[in-house]
Chains A and B, each alone.
Chain A
Amino acid sequence: NAGVTQTPKFRVLKTGQSMTLLCAQDMNHEYMYWYRQDPGMGLRLIHYSVGEGTTAKGEVPDGYNVSRLKKQNFLLGLESAAPSQTSVYFCASRPTGRHQPQHFGDGTRLSIL
């Protein structure tokens, strides 16, 4: 069982470059999330989606865009990368139903030089 798969696992970018992080889940979950994890700050929600074709802003959305064109995929885009976006990015999904646990991917370590 693949669960939640994040691509790529590591990436180094130069300031100003753009890239897209892909999250794919094979559990038919409705809800998907993108978080960033920084030292001493836990996980902070960037954007989330409650179903195909929907997206919403989380706690720290600036500098990021997302799309959920297919139910199984949730894409996180950085249009013009900045050093402050150096972080570990986690995708998660969960099924419908009250307060179901989120299932996480293995993370993407992104460095912006």
Chain B
Amino acid sequence: AQKVTQAQTEISVVEKEDVTLDCVYETRDTTYYLFWYKQPPSGELVFLIRRNSFDEQNEISGRYSWNFQKSTSSFNFTITASQVVDSAVYFCALSEGISGTYKYIFGTGTRLKVLA
């Protein structure tokens, strides 16, 4: 069965520190996609990134970077030089199936608190 685990319930860092949010997934499919979403205190969910199972290249977008490792079934998210505005709940999600599964499986989220 597919599953997404975000073992870190809450992380607190001081501004300008780097922080990594972990995401471990389980799937029997060879074709799948992984996503990260951000939920700031205002409540909406904001799409950050999508990665497919055939592309293991790491991705960097400004202060954000993602490390996808199929060998460990992980898709970790690193924020460099964190800022107070990064404070949010971050969700990792999995979508699997060659035909395009209609459903995501979400992790339980990691609450990141960045202290000034």
Given A42-B106, A43-B106, check contact A99 B33 (CB 8 Å). yes
Neighbouring A residues of B46 by C-beta, 8 Å:
104
- Is the pair B47, A101 in contact by a Cβ cutoff of 8 Å? yes
Residues in B neighbouring A33, C-beta threshold 8 A: 103
Contact for B107 among A42, A56, A58, A90, CB less than 8 A: A42
With CB as the reference atom, state the residue of chain B lying closest to A107.
B43
**Mask: chain B, 24-59; 1 = CB below 8 Å from A; 0 = not:** 000000001101010000111111001010000000
Q: Is the interface of B mostly helix, strand, loop or mixed?
A: loop
Q: How far is the CA of A20 from the CA of B5 in the complex (A)?
A: 32
User: Which chain B residues have a beta carbon within 8 Å of chain A's beta carbons?
Assistant: 6, 9, 32-33, 35, 37, 42-47, 50, 52, 91, 95, 100-104, 106-109
Supplied contacts A99-B95, A107-B44, 12 more A-B pairs, CB within 8 Å: A40-B9, A41-B108, A42-B106, A42-B107, A43-B104, A43-B106, A44-B106, A90-B45, A101-B35, A106-B42, A106-B43, A107-B43
| Residues of A that sit less than 8 Å from B by CB | 31, 33, 35, 40-45, 48, 50, 56, 58, 88, 90, 92, 97-99, 101-107
